[in-house]
Amino acid sequence: MKHKNIVFWIGVKSSNPEVRQKWNYGNYEWMDYSRKTWEYWCKKNDCHFIAYEEPKHSDTLKYKINWQRWFDVFDYIKTKGITDYDQILLTDASIMVKWDAPNYFDITDHKFCALRGTENLKWTYESTIGYADIFPNVKFRINDYIASGFCIFNKSHKPVLDVLETFYYQNHEKVLDLEDKLVKRGRDQPVLNYILRQEDVEIKYLPIVYGVSHLYRHDILKHNWQLNENMTPFFIKYFHAWIFSGWPDRGKTRNELMSQTWNLVKHHYEIDRLTNDEILDEIDHKDTAKYTTSKKMKRDILEIFRTDKFKDKTVIEIGASQGQSTRMLSHIFKKVIAVEWDDWNLEQAMDRNADRDNVEFVQMDLYKTKWKGNLPTDVDVVFIDADHRYPNVKMDIENALECFDNPIFIFDDYGFPPGEVKQAVDEKIQEGKLELYKFIGEKPDDLVHASGTKFFDMEGCVCNFK
């Protein structure tokens, strides 16, 4: 039987104003961003998420969290009622994990795993030398120094942590003096490095791609300016975990950068992701509301587009009406641009989507206003459901082809009488401007319309899907 693994997330928020001011911790907003990413990752990889928020000692100036986390970890896990588990990943709250990061526990070989902490070799050297007199018989290469804020271990390593705890309480005053007055380089980290070697623990070093620290030293806060279509910073694009430490001003830059990062990536972490059925239950359909699509058509759209391929894409809805389909689209795409000209419809649509933060409403007469220059051009999918008269449907298609770069089209009311939507779409298919992918929605005999209208062909279709 395979036992679950644990992510032990260090999220203690000190109420001591001296601590918060000294380290620029602010209101700990940055911790919340980290927590959301790890909760998502744990759910995805079937791991226990345990937030370490209540240390044994409340005086976190005298008994710093960096130390307490090591002494409390096994007992704290027991307090959560978890006794049957395999490995533990200990992570600071200054670390965010990427939504698609691989399962760290699969690469450990059940050894003590850590990242090298050598971004600032001067700091590492002074940290190591500063504690050398306490461990005169222990030697190790500076290049093998590990960072203590991101480690993986298991129950077999408990005796080592017991040694660390014993050392700390026997040398408590001396350690505090070294930390705060003499060495000023590291807390638990240099001592952990020495004790791991003293106890002859085999360390497996994680590749830097699994966790990168000191982002500014690696010069990865930038993006590739030659790829104008991709503004993703290097650290997000190429690394599995992002460690926001090493800033001269401590917490101030950390909070700002973690906030900016979260706003860039938060759409990937859908912890409370609704099922397709739950999304469909949120909105009305053609059998009760005539100015929207059928439930079947919405389900088809969800099944085609609600994939990793489209979660970073933008859709523009040409004719949002009262926002039923708008809400459905907001669960699929990173951004929805909903275009509507009617005041009352727009008000209804905005109310219906008030809790969706990825919808932008544009009030515009599509047939009197030039699209180019008045609508965003970074659009991947066009949902056309506005005026159903042939000249205007034709104009919608031509404007979309001119304004957007090779978009995918979704057409509603393809089979709506007297057939002007079908005429415009079929004409563009014959001209080679559109390529039919598939028909979607209800068949004519199955479609129930709130107004009683009888369709003569399929409800909708998707074109240019490749």
DSSP string, 368-421: TS-SBTTB-S--SEEEE-S--SHHHHHHHHHHHHHHSSS-EEEEE-TT-TT-HH
**DSSP code of 52?**
E
Max Cα–Cα distance, the chain, nearest Å: 91
pLDDT tens track for 39-68: 999 988 999 999 999 888 887 777 888 999
Decide if pLDDT at 111 tops 80. Answer: yes
pLDDT tens track for 329-380: 999 999 999 999 999 999 999 999 988 889 999 999 999 999 989 999 999 9
- Tell me the three state secondary structure of residue 463: strand
- Nearest CA-CA partner of 29 in 122, 96, 88, 108: 96
pLDDT attached to residue 57: 85
Decide if pLDDT at 19 tops 70. Answer: no
| Host H or E run for residue 280 | helix 276-281
In this prediction, residues 433-451 reach a mean pLDDT of 85
Decide if pLDDT at 273 tops 70. Answer: no
End-to-end CA distance of the chain: 43
pLDDT attached to residue 179: 81
Residue 214 structure tokens: 């000191």
DSSP strands (E only) in 133-231: 146-154, 203-205
| Host H or E run for residue 301 | helix 295-305
pLDDT attached to residue 401: 96
pLDDT-derived band at 427 (thresholds 50, 70, 90) equals very high
The answer to whether the beta carbons of residues 386 and 318 sit under 8 Å apart is yes
The answer to whether the beta carbons of residues 131 and 184 sit under 8 Å apart is no
Decide if pLDDT at 251 tops 70. Answer: no
Decide if pLDDT at 226 tops 80. Answer: no
Identify the structural domains of the chain with CATH numbers, from first to last: 6-268 (3.90.550.10), 276-463 (3.40.50.150)
The answer to whether the beta carbons of residues 157 and 201 sit under 8 Å apart is yes
Rounded CA separation 245/248 (Å): 9
**In the structure, how many helices (H) and strands (E) does the chain have?**
15, 15
pLDDT attached to residue 175: 85
pLDDT attached to residue 64: 86
pLDDT attached to residue 72: 94
The answer to whether the beta carbons of residues 422 and 415 sit under 8 Å apart is yes
The answer to whether the beta carbons of residues 104 and 89 sit under 8 Å apart is yes
Decide if pLDDT at 1 tops 50. Answer: no
| Global confidence as pTM | 0.62
Rounded CA separation 184/164 (Å): 19
**DSSP code of 455?**
P
